Each structure stands twice: as structure tokens, then as C-alpha cells.
Amino acid sequence: MREENRRVLAERAPRAIECAERATIPAGYLLGEIGGRPLLSVEEMPLHHPGQPEADAARWARGALDRIETADAASVVVVGLGLGYHVEALAERFPGPITVVEPDGAVLRLALEARDLHGLLARVSLVVEDGSEELVSDGPTLVLGYAPALLIPNGVHRRALERWRASAARSGMRLKIMVVSPMYGGSLPIAGYAARALGELGHEAQLLDLSPFYDGFRGLGGFGAPRKQQAELESQFVDVLAAGVGAAVEAAEPDLVLALAQAPLSVQVLDEIGKRNVPRVLWFVEDYRLFTYWREVAAHYDYIFTIQEGECLQAMQAATDAQVSYLPCAMDPEVHRPGVLDANERRRYGSDVSFVGAGYWNRRQAFRQFLDTDFRIWGSDWGGAADLARVIQRQGARVATDDAVRIFNASRVNLNLHSSTYHDGVDPRGDFVNPRTFELAGCGAFQIVDARAPLGALFSPETDLAVAHDVAEMRTLTDYFLAHEDERRDMAIRARLRALAEHTYAHRMEAMLSAVVGAQHETFLTRRRAATVGDVARAGDGPLEQFLARLDPATPFELRHLAASLGDREGALEESEAIFLFLHQFDELYLQEHRA
């Protein structure tokens, strides 16, 4: 390594020295010279123009500047140092911060040996090894991949590019996201959790809650129509809801639409949304074998996330060109948390053993083994389970989320048996983890869960959770942990800590946006971005800016949002506040007259 390079790196990036010095040079990495200029080739592919590296670098920099200007980027990340010619050209033309990522230690070592880069190294931030450091930026950051480096066969530069684009997606980018719920079912509350998590991440999330339409959907049965006509009525009802979603998308102009499983989005409406260049995302939080409607709509989404891996991903990838990825369920810390119950609540909700969920076939068979314990079953669809009738609570009524959390907290042992329509107990093909697993963990509630293939990657079985491979083992574990309160408590605490650290909906939404925005990084950067209160407040120091500085900086700078932010204001309004409320009321009256 040249001494002048070492001196700069010792102060600015000491890890780069360590990385370069321990790197070995593979046989295919060849450092040569043409016309007095160093040239590096990897596996017979030159990383710079053989005869005119500076001129070629200048052309690359001009193209990069065009992309920076289009994206209105405040900073740049370049993945791939090569011998530095292209970065030097960019640094001469772009005044903002530049981060250079070189994850290949062999390339880094050869560059530091071949060229005097101390001036460049003093100008840029150099990141080495896996490029996993979090991006910090005051504005939009454009992540550029240096094409020759991306072609190196080991793929480390391509992987680093994906990671840094994902990091850029999490930093300084505020998106307007519409979350579309189903009318009913297990994914309905998840839509709300996802929308709240997106807001926590700094995005403007609009939840399109379609649950109020469920009563109307069920009411169609009141016509007494024959089965075929009934199906047609239900299909037409869903088509109306889909058209409503399309109208909402047209009005709100979101940057992205996220639909939960069973959201009523027809192929026609999905195609209309696609024509608006709005990415369409489906989070399929269902068993793909039981709910097969995905075959009709998969090809009309851009991104699909599933709670199953393996065969599920393969089946969906065969049905669509969308990017298909695994994304398990999670829990909402604002909802699923330990609670202090009074004596009355403990009597009402508590028991030694409990289960919350629907009465699937395998549960009806398995739970007979617990009738000699202090056992309660909560949830719907238990009709006809005569042998279990005495332990079914509230005559099989559906359990609200708040009550479910109370039950989790009041029960000494929570059984968590995944549903199956064709097994008597534990499904040996269990290839997904249900939301209840994460929700119980979030509540700090002890659970015994049936063995599931993905479970070991999410929690530590036997440390965070008690895991049963069959119903007999579930009963044995129940008896054991009822008698060992300290072990039960410690395991529940560990599960909660793990859930908080890794399994919140904020974690899931961050992963989802990293995949979506990372894949379309420049497209999202160039989207029209609505000004926020923070943007306007930073523009000056007048009365308007001083007033806005008191509000949440992420609030969109629109009358309706400003008025909403003043809704909880206590005491007399200041003049500036009263002006905004008056303008909002005037605007609303004008719109009503215009619509009339």
C-alpha cells in the first residue's frame, strides 16, 4: 500500500487498511499498465478503459450527474472503487457527499498499491467489506453501481448494491402508501398494524379499511337467491368495492399500494393501478394451498410477499413475473404487550390453559386431551363440537383483539396449535408461522406451539418457546410448565425480547420497503414529493416558519393535515392557528359547493 494512501486512511477509514492488508489476490486479478496508467482486470474483464481511463471516467461521471440531477439527490453512494478513475471524475463535478463502497478486499488492496489516491480518499467516505453500515443523509441519496465491478463473478458488488439501495430506501425518503384491507378475516387487523408501522417509519400511510362493508356483503344472503345467483351477487359486490379502491387510488395518488390477503382488488383495477405506474404489492398472509385465488391475481402484482417459503415461492414464481419474497407475520408492540389485570379481569379471562382461535378440525380433535384441566376455548366456528361445549366461552363469539390480549396475559399456558382441515393434530407439513405466535410473544405470554419448519429461524425453540411435535407432547409440556412457574416466566420474557428486537410490524414494513424501493430506487427518488411541514419550516425564520416549527415535521404541508394537527390544541388559538383553521373551513365549504 502506498504510504500517502495509508496516512489518509489511518485517520478517515482505518478498517480499509485492515481489509486491504489481510486480503489475498486471486489468480484472476491482474494489475498491469498501459501508457503509464495502471489497469486492473478481473477474470479477463478490465475495470477501466484500457487506453483512455480518464476520458472514459469523465463520460461515466457525466452520465452519473444527469441521474443525480434527475433524482434531485443530495448525496451519492458509488458501489465499486476499481482503480478510482471514475470516482475521481465524479468528485471533480459533484460537490455533495460521496460514499464509495468496495466490498472486495482484493480490488481494494490493488487500488491502494497501484495509484496515489490520497486526494480522493480525503474527499470521499470509504466503506469496505460487506458495506453493511447504515446510510445517514440529510436528503435523498442516489446509489450508483459501477458496471464493470458489478460483473465480477463473485457477486459481492451486486449484493452490496442491493443492501445500499435498501439502506437509501430507509433514509430520507417519505412515501405515500395506501394499505388496502380485506372485508374480514385474519389479515384484516394486520392491515391496520402495517399502516401504523409505516407511519412509525416516517411514511404517510392511508388505511383503506373495507371492514364496514362486510355486513352488506353478508346481507346479500337475505335475498334467498339460489347458489349460482348468490355467487354472482357476491362477485358483483366485490367488483364494486374494487372499483372503489381504484377511485381511492386515483384520488390519493399514492406512491405505492399494499394489499393484504383477500383484499377485494380485481384484475381490471390492478391493471388500472399499474397503468398509473404505482407499484402494486400483495402481502399474502394465508396458506397458499387453501386460499388459491392468488392464481388469478398474482400476475397483476409487481411484488408478492408470502408467509411460506419453498414450494409456495416456487408456485407463485411460476405464475407471475412479480418479485416474490418471504415475509413472515409479526406483532404490534402498541397492541400486543403485557397488561396488568385486576382481580375481576383475571376471573373473567384467566385459566390454567387456554386457546384463542377458530374451531378447525385438528383443534377439535386435539383439545379433547385437555378437558380434565382448567381449560377455556375462545373464538368462533366451534359449532357442533359437543364434547368441547362446556369449555367454549361466550357461545363461540368472535374475540376482539383487546380481549385476546387480556386472555393471553391471564392464561398460565396458551396453546398455539396451527389450523389444519385434514390432520387430527399437528400438521407435519407446517411451513408457516401464524400471527398468534408473534402476538403471544409480544404480550410476554407463555405459549406451547406446534412444530413448524420456519420456527427455528424466528425464535429459539425450547429457549424462547415450548415446542410440541404432537398432541401428546403438547399435553406433557402443559403439565410440566404448569408445575414450573419460574421456567414458564423466563421463557415468556425471552420470547418477548426476541419479538421486540426482530418481529414487529415495523421490522416487516422496513424489509418490504427495502425490497420494493431498493429494486426501483431511482424511480422513487424521481417521483414528485409533496412538501412537508419540516421542509417549509427550514426555508426561513418568519412567522409562518416559527408556527410550523411547533408541529410534527413529517406532517404534509396541506391545509387538511395542518388543520388536523391543531385538532387537539388546548386553550385559545393563536392568530396563525386561527388563520389556518379558517382557510381549511373555507376550502371545505368551497369543495362542498363545487360538488353540489
Q: What value does the mean pLDDT of the chain take?
A: 90
pLDDT of residue 543: 73
Name the strands in the sheet holding 98-102, side by side, starting at the edge strand that comes first in the sequence.
125-128, 98-102, 75-79, 141-145
160 and 36 share a domain? yes
Q: How far is CA 30 from the centre of its chain?
A: 42
Q: Which of 137, 170, 203 is the last residue of a domain?
A: 170
Asked if pLDDT for residue 553 goes beyond 90, the answer is: no
Q: At 446, list the grid cell.
A: 407463555
| 504 or 204: which leads in pLDDT | 504
Region 200-220: mean pLDDT is 94
Q: What angle do CA 260, 262, 263 make, to 5 degrees?
A: 60
**pLDDT recorded at residue 580:** 67
Q: Are residues 220 and 363 in the same domain?
A: no
Distance, CA of 307 to CA of 186 (rounded, Å): 13
Cα 417 to the center of its chain, rounded Å: 26
- Strand ranges of the sheet holding 411-416, from the earlier edge strand across to the other edge: 375-378, 351-356, 411-416, 447-450, 466-468
Q: Angle CA(393)–CA(395)–CA(397) in degrees, nearest 5?
A: 85
One-letter amino acid at 431 equals D
Q: What is the pLDDT of residue 592?
A: 54
Rounded Cα distance between 290 and 185, Å, is 14
The domain containing residue 186 runs over which residues? Answer: 176-326
Q: Is the pLDDT of residue 115 over 80?
A: yes
**Of 8 and 71, more confident:** 8
User: CB neighbours of 93 closer than 8 A, spacing ≥ 6?
Assistant: 61, 62, 65
Read off the C-alpha cell for 314.
416456487
Q: Comparing 166 with 326, which gets the higher pLDDT?
A: 326
Q: Which CATH number fits the domain that encloses residue 140?
A: 3.40.50
In angstroms, rounded to a whole number, what is the distance separating the alpha carbons of residues 514 and 503?
A: 16
Q: How would residue 135 be classed by pLDDT, with cut points 50, 70 and 90? A: low
How many whole angstroms separate alpha carbon 408 and alpha carbon 395?
A: 19
Q: What percentage of residues in the chain have a pLDDT greater than 70?
A: 92
pLDDT tens for 333-356 read 999 999 999 999 999 999 999 999
Paired strand residues for 78: 100, 144
Q: Are residues 275 and 378 in the same domain?
A: no
What is the pLDDT at residue 554? 67
pLDDT(560) > 80: no
Task: Give residue 563's pLDDT.
Answer: 72
Query: Do the Cβ atoms of 192 and 181 come closer than 8 Å?
Result: yes
CA distance 508 to 179: 14
Q: What is the pLDDT of residues 480-536, one digit of tens each?
A: 999 999 999 999 999 999 999 999 999 999 999 989 988 888 788 777 556 677 777
Do 453 and 370 lie in one domain? The reply is yes
Domain annotation covers residue 73: yes
For residue 131, what pLDDT is reported? Answer: 46
pLDDT in tens, 393-405: 999 999 999 999 9
Same domain for 24 and 71, yes or no, is yes
Same domain for 146 and 34: yes
Flag whether 216 is in a domain.
yes
Q: What pLDDT sits at residue 59?
A: 94
Q: Is 207 left (phi over 0), alpha (psi -120 to 50) or beta?
A: beta
Cα separation, 21 vs 6, in Å, equals: 11
Q: Which domain-ending residue is among 170, 192, 222?
A: 170
Q: Is residue 523 part of a domain?
A: no
C-alpha to C-alpha distance for 285 and 409, rounded to whole angstroms: 25
Shared domain check, 83 and 124: yes
Residue 436 pLDDT grade (very low, low, confident, very high; cuts 50, 70, 90): very high
pLDDT surpassing 80 at residue 372: yes
Q: Please check whether residues 40 and 129 belong to one and the same domain.
A: yes
**Cβ-proximal residues to 428 (8 Å cutoff; 6+ apart), any chain:** none
Of 124, 148, 170, which one is at a domain's C-terminal end?
A: 170
**pLDDT classification of 587: cutoffs 50, 70, 90:** low
> What integer is the mean pLDDT of 550-571?
69
pLDDT tens profile 24-76: 999 999 999 888 889 999 988 899 888 889 999 999 999 999 999 888 888 99
pLDDT at 437: 98
Of the pLDDT bands very low, low, confident and very high (cuts 50, 70, 90), residue 267 is: very high
Domain membership flag for residue 494: yes
pLDDT category of residue 78 using cuts at 50, 70 and 90: very high
CATH of the domain at 244: 3.40.50.2000
d(CA 339, CA 341): 6
Residue 563 identity: A
**Do 555 and 574 share a structural domain?**
yes
Least confident interval from 240-244, 394-398, 548-552: 548-552
Q: Which of 59, 77, 194 is nearest to 143 (CA)?
A: 77
Residue 131 and residue 159 share a domain: yes
DSSP code of 21?
A: H
pTM: 0.80
Concatenating the DSSP letter of every residue in 58-81 gives HHHHHHHHHHHHHHT-SEEEEE--
Residue 308 lies in a domain: yes
Q: Same structural domain for residues 287 and 374?
A: no
Q: Residue 24 domain-assigned?
A: yes
Q: In Å, what is the CA distance from 408 to each residue of 95, 403, 487?
A: 56, 9, 17
Same domain, yes or no: 433 and 286: no
Where are the extended beta strands (E) located within 372-461?
375-378, 411-416, 447-450
Asked if residues 441 and 496 have their Cβ atoms less than 8 Å apart, the reply is yes
Average of per-residue pLDDT across 3-8: 95
Question: 547-577 burial, b for 16+ CB within 10 Å, e for fewer?
Answer: bbeebeeebbbebebbbebeeeeeeeeeeeb
Say how far apart CA 516 and CA 166 lie, in whole Å. Answer: 8
Q: Does residue 333 belong to any structural domain of this protein?
A: no
| 221 contact partners, CB below 8 Å, separation of at least 6 | 230
Report the number of distinct structural domains present in the chain. Answer: 4
* Residue 127 in domain: yes
